[in-house]
Amino acid sequence: MNQKTHVSGPFPLSSLRARRTYARAARFLSETSGAVTVDWVVLTAAIVGLAIAVLVTISGGTTALASNTGDAIAAMDVGGFSDSAPQAPYENAHLMCSNTTTCTKVSLGGGAWEEVPNPTGETGDQFYVNGQVSDGDTWFAAYDASL
């Protein structure tokens, strides 16, 4: 058979250059070493995509949960004192609470002692200076200065 008419592929291999090109193309198509890399790239991309989808799905719920938790912590009564502790009636007062319902109130500048409702329900001394919860030393210093 004449080589020019011989066909062993999709086109006649009449020249050396055509045969080399065909051989390179056939070798390239038969190689499988790069297939593993492609598999890992596709698998990694799928895992990253799934992680992003999960994060987007749960992020709204976690934001709401964090907000609710912060609100609950802010509303807690810590140590018997809270934001709802009375301000105006006890602006500058020392409360001596022997029970959970009533206290004896002493105001800065002296004045009569009076029985008042216990604002916290705790027993013991409670001090208010300028409408804020205070310690005993600060209150007694303000009391002495007011006399």
Per-residue model confidence as pLDDT tens digits over 89-139: 577 788 888 888 888 888 877 777 888 888 888 888 888 777 777 787 887
14 has pLDDT over 70: no
- pTM of structure: 0.36
Buried residues in 98-125 as b, exposed as e (16+ CB within 10 A): eeeeebebbbbeeeeeeebebbbebeee
**Amino acid, single-letter form, for residue 60:** G
Q: What is the largest CA-CA distance in the chain?
A: 131
For position 63, what pLDDT does the model report?
A: 83
**Domain extent listing, the chain:** 93-146
Between vectors from CA 88 to CA 147 and to CA 70, what angle results, nearest 5°?
125
How far is it, in rounded angstroms, from Cα 73 to Cα 80? 14
Q: How many CB atoms lie within 10 A of CB 126?
A: 24
Q: Is the pLDDT of residue 86 over 70?
A: no
Given CA atoms 117, 71, 132, 140 in this order, what sign does their dihedral have?
positive
Residue 129: closest CA among 97, 98, 106, 99: 106
